[in-house]
Amino acid sequence: MLRIAAAALLLAAPPAFAQQAHSPGGHGHAGATSQQSVHAEARKPAESGQSAFAAIQEIVQILEADPRTDWSKVSIQALRQHLIDMNNVTLGANVTAEPIGSGVRFTALGAGSVRDSIRRMVSAHAAAMNGVEGWKFTSADVDGGALLTLEVPAADLQKVRALGFIGVMAHGMHHQAHHLSIARGGHPHG
């Protein structure tokens, strides 16, 4: 595995580095070692490895950089729970869609923690997005999950049907600010 990684590093290396590392007669060997360490420093990994972890890491960095952060109110655990809910709904919900006159009604179902996540996420998203872009959201709990009903202007009807449940849930750029609010100890869901 290390050999494959080393080969990939050499293939991705700038031409000058590749030439020095392979110079005939061992010339530049000490330089290659120095050059390798410089190249390795320039290529530090940036990806944290998992999206929920990355979202938390980003929020922690924002909180630490803000001198106004009230650490007595911060709850990274609340943000973690919200990200668990997002994961449960995205990957665990069983969803059916029923076209209605000016929109669509989604029925999202699951068992146990998935059911609970569906209920929290659907009601929160409906409340946050109701009225945005002229879209009317309503939600209701049902046995095993929740209903999300969305009525939209005629021009958006095809778009909403194409987005489907998870596309509608992901629609809007409020999520990032929402995550920061949760971490700061806010209760954006009311």
Residues 71 and 12 in one domain: no
Task: At 113, give phi and psi (nearest 5°).
Answer: -65, -30
Reading the chain (190 residues) residue by residue, the pLDDT tens digits are 434 343 333 334 344 333 334 444 444 444 555 666 656 667 888 777 889 999 999 999 999 999 999 999 999 999 999 999 999 999 999 999 999 999 999 999 999 999 999 999 999 999 999 999 999 999 999 999 999 999 999 999 999 999 999 999 999 877 788 888 899 998 765 5
Residues 125 and 165 in one domain: yes
- Adjacent-strand bridge partners of 141: 146
Residues 35 and 59 in one domain: no
Q: pTM, whole model, 2 decimals?
A: 0.73
Residues 104 and 21 in one domain: no
In 10 A of CB 102, how many CB atoms? Answer: 14
User: In this structure, is residue 190 part of a structural domain?
Assistant: no
Residues 17 and 72 in one domain: no
Q: Give the domain range for residue 13.
A: 2-42
Residues 67 and 27 in one domain: no
